[in-house]
């Protein structure tokens, strides 16, 4: 098992997409990737501040649906959000390489 951390909140969209394609090319067939995404606060002002801080850091604001789209575009299959069974403000998206 290998671990790789690609924090979306520090990588602009183009860099993040390139990183996902690179990770996909390095995984063995059947290998998996789990992408963690910080959940945007439900309160509108807090959510806007969170998005602004991410954008000012040069990062990519991702929700689970956007992550699924980007992973599929990078060539991953069986892309899906993991059903949450925890309270932490973290969402996980799982994908498999063919």
The predicted model scores a pTM of: 0.81
What's residue 86's pLDDT? 86
How much of the chain, in percent, has pLDDT values that exceed 70?
Answer: 91
Provide the residue ranges of all domains of the chain, joining segments of one domain with +: 8-96
- Count helices and strands (H / E) in the chain: 3, 3
Residue 92, SS3 per DSSP:
strand
Considering only CA atoms, which of 30, 39, 40, 33 is closest in space to residue 19? 33
Can you name the CATH fold of 8-96?
Rossmann fold (3.40.50)
What is the tens place of the pLDDT at every residue in 1-37? Answer: 556 666 666 778 788 899 999 999 999 999 999 988 8
């Amino acid at each position: 098992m290998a671990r790789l951390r690609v924090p979306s909140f520090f990588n602009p969209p183009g860099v993040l997409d390139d990183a996902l394609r690179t990770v996909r090319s390095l995984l063995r067939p059947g290998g998996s990737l789990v992408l963690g995404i910080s959940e945007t606060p439900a309160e509108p002002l807090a959510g806007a501040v969170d998005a602004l801080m991410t954008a000012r850091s040069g990062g990519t604001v991702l929700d689970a649906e956007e992550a699924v789209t980007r992973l599929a575009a990078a060539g991953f299959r069986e892309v899906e959000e993991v059903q949450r069974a925890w309270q932490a403000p973290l969402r996980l998206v799982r994908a498999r390489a063919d």
